[in-house]
Structure 1
Amino acid sequence: MTDRKISAKLLAVAALVFASQELAFAQMPQQQPDAKAFKLGKLDIVALHDAQFVQPNDGKIFGLDHSPTEVADLLKAAGAPTDTVTLSVDALLVKSDKHLILIDTGVGGALQGSLAKAGYHADAVDEILITHSHPDHVGGLVQDGKLAFPKATIRMSEAEWSYAKANEKLADVVKVIADHVKTFKPGGEVLPGIASVAMSGHTPGHVGYQITSGKERLFDIGDTVHSSIISLAKPTWAISFDGDKPEAEQNRVKTLNTLAKSHERIFAPHFPFPGVGYITAEGDHFKWTADDKSE
C-alpha cells in the first residue's frame, strides 16, 4: 500500500473513530513502522506500532468533568505538551510453537510494515484476538476491501461481536470479516496460554488478554487506560471514549490497584510505544514504568 493510500485510510478510520463520539483530533503525525521483540517464558512477543494520534486538550476527550487547565497541569507536571494529548496505537504479536497470534490490529496504519520489520508476513498470522471493536483496534483487519490477514481466525467476545454488527459505521469491516469470526464468553482460555478477562465499561464486550508462559505473565489490558499520564494520575476522571463511564472508571481503579499490588507486566496499546511495563501506586494515584527489556 502506498504512503498516500495509507494516509487516506488513516484519516478515514480516525475520522470514524472520533466522529462516532463527536470528537476531532488535532493532527496525525507520519506513521513509521516499529517493532520491539522480547521473551515471555518460551514465547516470542513483539510489540508492533501502528499509528499515533495527537488530540487537543479541549475538554472534549480527557477529564470531561474538569477543565483543560486542570488537564494541562497534569501534563505539565509530567513534562509533556499542555495543549495536546498524544496516544500511540499499537498491537501485540505472540508466537508460540503452534500459532502466530495478533492481538488487535490498529487502524491499519504502519502495522503491516511493523510486522515485516519484525520478520513476519500477514499470511503467517493464523489467530487474531480482538479486545474490542473500536476502529483503532479493528481497522487493520481489512485492507483494500479484503482480509488483511487472510488465513487468520478472528476471535472476540460474544457481546462485542453483537455490538460491532449493530454499529453501522463498522458495516464495511463486519461484511468482510463475518465468515472468519469466532466468539467466546470472557473468563476462559481462548488459545493455549491465553485467557480472556472481562474489562467492563469501555464497550459492552471489552476484554483484556492474560498471556502465560511458565511462571511469566503479560496482561494486555486493552483500553482500560488510554493516557499514561492522565489515566494514571486521575483514574476517576471520565474519558469520552468509554461507553459506560461510571463502570469504566470503577474497573480502571480496580484494575490499576490490582496491577500495582501484583507488579505484573502489562501491555497498554495506547501508552508510549512499545507500551510494555509496570503500574506502581503513589498515594492516591499511579505511575507508569516502562520495561527496559522491551525498549
Structure 2
Amino acid sequence: MKSLCISTLIACLAAVQVSAADMGPQPAQPGAETFTLGDFRITSLRDAVNVVPNDGSVFGADVGPKAVAEVLTKAGQKTEAIELSVDALLARRGSEAIVIDTGLGPAIPGALASSLSLAGVKPDEVTTVLITHVHSDHIGGLITREKQSAFKHAVIKISGPDWKWLQQQPEMAELTRVIAPQVSTFIPGEDVAMGIKSVRIPGHTPGHVGYMISSKGETLLDVGDTVHSSIVSLAKPDWGMGYDSDRAIGRTSRREVLTQLAADHQLIFAPHFPYPGVGWIVSQSDHFEWLPKK
C-alpha cells in the first residue's frame, strides 16, 4: 500500500510538471481568416496561444482561483488554466495595408509573419501599424529575431500616454530604440487613418485604446485588451484583472464597454478570444456571452 501511494504521488508530481511546462506563451499554427467590411478587407491573423494559470494572479485577482474554477466548470472547461489566443488584425483598402497589434514576436516564435504571408501580404508592404497598448504580446512582433524593424516602411502609431510609459520600461529598451524612428503618437480618441478612429478604453494601460473601423455604414471595433477570456471576462466582468494597471478603472471600463457593445450589437475583434476572435457581445441578465461570427 505504501509503495502504491508513493507511485501515485510520483505520477501526480509528473503531471504537475507537464502541466507547468505547458503554461505561458505557446506556438500556434498560422491562420488568416478574411471578410469584407465596406471597402476594407479585414483579416484575423493568428500569432500564438497564451496559457494562463488559474492561480489568482490574473483572472479573479480579487476573488481567488476557486471562484474562477467554478465559472470554468460551469462552462465545461478545465479549471487549472485559461487558454487565450494571441492574435492581430489586418485591414486592407487599396494600397493600404494596416496591421493592428503585432503579437508576441520572435521569442515564441509567433506565427504573425506566416499568417501575413497566408493573407498575401509581405512585412515590407505594411503601410501602418496601430498599437492598442504596449504590453509585450501586442508589440513583440514589431522587431525581428535580428532586432531589426519588422515593418520597415510602416508608420507605427501608439497613443501618447502608452509611448511615454513604454520608454520607462527597462526590459523594452531595445525594442523602443529600434522602433523610435517610425513612431507617431496620437491622443486617444483621435482618427489614426482614413476610416479608423482610436477609442479610449481606460484601465488596462495608461493609454490603452480600441480601434473602430468604419466603411459604407459597416463597423468593426478592435477592443484590444478590454476583455481577455471569452468565458471569465464575460461571466464576471466586475472581477479584478491582474493585467490591468488600474484594476478599479478596468472593472468599471469593462462593464461600461460590454454593456454598450451588447446594446449596439457592435461587431468586434477580440485578440485574446478563440481564433478568429470576431463576433458579438450578448447581454444575459448581469453578465455577457460571446457569439462568434460564422
TM-score with structure 2 setting the length:
0.89
Q: Which residue does the alignment assign to 1:81?
A: 78
Displacement of 1:59: 1.2
Alignment of 1:1-295 (within 5 A): 26-108=23-105, 109-143=110-144, 144-292=146-294
Size of the aligned set, in residue pairs, is 269
- Structure showing greater Rg: 2
Q: Which residue does the alignment assign to 2:3?
A: none
Q: For 1:142 and 1:60, how far apart are their aligned partners in 2?
A: 29
Q: For 1:25 and 1:224, how far apart are their aligned partners in 2?
A: 25
Q: Deviations over 1:53-111 (max 9, x none)?
A: 11111111110111212111111111211111001000000001241000000012000
Q: Deviations over 1:23-66 (max 9, x none)?
A: x9824443211110111112100000101011111111110111
Q: Which residue does the alignment assign to 1:17?
A: none
Letter of the structure 1 residue corresponding to residue 286 of structure 2: D
Asked whether the 8 Å contact 2:220–2:268 carries over to 1, the reply is yes
Asked whether the 8 Å contact 1:268–1:276 carries over to 2, the reply is yes
Asked whether the 8 Å contact 2:27–2:111 carries over to 1, the reply is no
Displacement of 1:186: 1.5
Q: Which residue does the alignment assign to 2:16?
A: none
Q: Which residue does the alignment assign to 1:13?
A: none
Q: For 2:78 and 2:150, how far apart are their aligned partners in 1?
A: 35
The SS at the match of 2:225 is helix
RMSD: 1.2
Q: Deviations over 1:233-287 (max 9, x none)?
A: 0001011100000001110000000001000100000000000000010000000
Q: Hey, which bits of structure 1, 4+ residues long, moved more than 4 A?
A: none
The SS at the match of 1:257 is helix
Asked whether the 8 Å contact 2:241–2:250 carries over to 1, the reply is no
The SS at the match of 1:235 is coil
Asked whether the 8 Å contact 1:210–1:217 carries over to 2, the reply is yes
The SS at the match of 1:253 is helix
Q: For 1:91 and 1:219, how far apart are their aligned partners in 2?
A: 13
Q: For 1:240 and 1:25, how far apart are their aligned partners in 2?
A: 20
Identity of paired residues, percent?
48
TM-score with structure 1 setting the length:
0.89
Displacement of 1:190: 0.9
